[in-house]
């Protein structure tokens, strides 16, 4: 069986199309790697690329992406609604075909070591690749933003990066590299501009507050639309599906006489997490192509 890995690097740029195009070009010129999806969000000031490929080629592509972003993005001048710690904020390795999670842990370490040594960006390993329990979760690495991470690196021994220097890179910041199961990024837009409400709903439904299983959630302002959003990561769709998450947000919103305007999927999802009625039942924002990763993969150059 051919070995294939998925990665969903998150880039701290969602407004300058020229920069986004250059970053995409750095991925597309690597053989045996395919870009399956690009999600650009100006309010989040963030782009999410979904790419698949063979392990060695993916290592080359992801390193090249981080290197290119280091030259094009200055994180010290970045302002967006989504939490982030670096020009390339996070790079997960996800086993797709003929590859184990242990393999992905090894690849994450290899990439992290190269980024730390050659680009001098501090690297924090997370999820299955994490080596320090207190920072295995991505939200703990991002806690308080880049300035807070810088402070922890300077004062707490356990926050020495896994690879790279113990100081924030002046333009690229830091980066989280890890390995994990499929994650569904799922956002629900409310017919409201009340960020306190969105944050309260997020707190109620997320796992860390005793809400739904395998759900991370925050409230986000969509300034360009004068609306708010409950932004979620469903870390295991087998435990909490998009439908269950939507119903929980809807139930909480209606307690305050607020309706859901729409929802959206960021990136792609496995076929096992999808059924056709979701388009209408979840008021999903229309997209031009199939959101199923298996379908996109079949149409790609690496299928």
What pLDDT, in 10s, does the model give residues 185-235? 999 999 999 999 999 999 999 999 999 999 999 999 999 999 999 999 999
Domain assignment present for residue 295? The answer is no
Got the DSSP string for 243-264?
HHHHHHHHHHHHTTT--EEEEE
Domain extent for 217: 184-287
Same domain, 206 and 268: yes
pTM of the shown model: 0.94
Residues marked active site are found at: 82
Q: What is the pLDDT of residue 288?
A: 64
CATH number for the domain that contains residue 89: 3.30.990.10
Same domain, 35 and 60: yes
Same domain, 90 and 231: no
Q: How far apart are CA 116 and CA 95, in angstroms?
A: 23
Q: Which of 202, 196, 187, 210 is nearest to 260 (CA)?
A: 187
Q: What is the pLDDT of residue 87?
A: 97
Same domain, 216 and 161: no
Same domain, 118 and 221: no
Strand partners, 169: 173
Q: What is the pLDDT of residue 138?
A: 94
Q: What is the mean pLDDT of residues 259-278?
A: 93
Pairing mode, strands 175-179 and 88-97: parallel
pLDDT band at 286 (very low <50, low <70, confident <90, very high): confident
Q: What is the mean pLDDT of the chain?
A: 95
- Angstrom CA distances, 37 to 100, 145, 295, stand at 23, 27, 12
Query: Could you give phi then psi for residue 86, rounded to 5 degrees?
Result: -155, 170
pLDDT tens, residue by residue, 166-192: 999 999 999 999 999 999 999 999 999
**C-alpha 1 chain-centroid distance:** 28
Q: 28 with 66: CB under 8 angstroms?
A: no
């Amino acid at each position: 069986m051919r070995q294939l890995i998925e990665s969903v690097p998150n880039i701290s740029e969602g407004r300058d199309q020229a920069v986004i195009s250059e970053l995409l070009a750095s991925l597309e010129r690597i053989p045996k790697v395919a870009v399956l999806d690009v999600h650009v969000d100006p309010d989040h000031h963030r782009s999410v690329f979904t790419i698949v490929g063979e392990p060695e080629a993916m290592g080359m592509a992801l390193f090249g992406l981080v290197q290119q972003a280091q030259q094009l993005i200055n994180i010290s001048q970045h302002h967006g609604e989504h939490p982030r710690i670096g020009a390339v904020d996070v790079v997960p390795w996800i086993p797709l075909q003929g590859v184990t999670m242990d393999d992905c842990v090894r690849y994450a370490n290899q990439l992290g070591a190269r980024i730390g040594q050659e680009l001098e960006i501090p690297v924090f390993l997370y999820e299955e690749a994490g080596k320090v329990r207190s920072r295995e979760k991505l939200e703990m690495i991002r806690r308080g933003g880049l300035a807070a991470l810088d402070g922890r690196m300077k004062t707490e021994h356990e926050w020495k990066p896994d690879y790279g220097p113990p100081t924030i890179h002046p333009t690229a910041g830091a980066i989280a590299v890890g390995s994990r199961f499929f994650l569904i990024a799922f956002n629900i837009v409310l017919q409201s501009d009340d960020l306190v409400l969105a944050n309260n709903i997020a707190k109620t439904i997320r796992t860390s507050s005793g809400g739904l299983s395998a759900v991370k959630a925050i409230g986000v302002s969509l300034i360009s639309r004068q609306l708010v959003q409950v932004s979620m990561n469903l870390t295991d769709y087998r435990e909490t599906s998009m439908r269950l998450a939507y119903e929980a947000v809807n139930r909480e919103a209606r307690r305050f006489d607020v309706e859901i305007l729409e929802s959206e999927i960021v990136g792609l999802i496995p076929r096992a997490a999808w059924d056709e009625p979701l388009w209408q039942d979840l008021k999903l924002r229309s997209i031009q192509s199939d959101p199923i990763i298996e379908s996109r993969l079949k149409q790609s150059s690496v299928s």
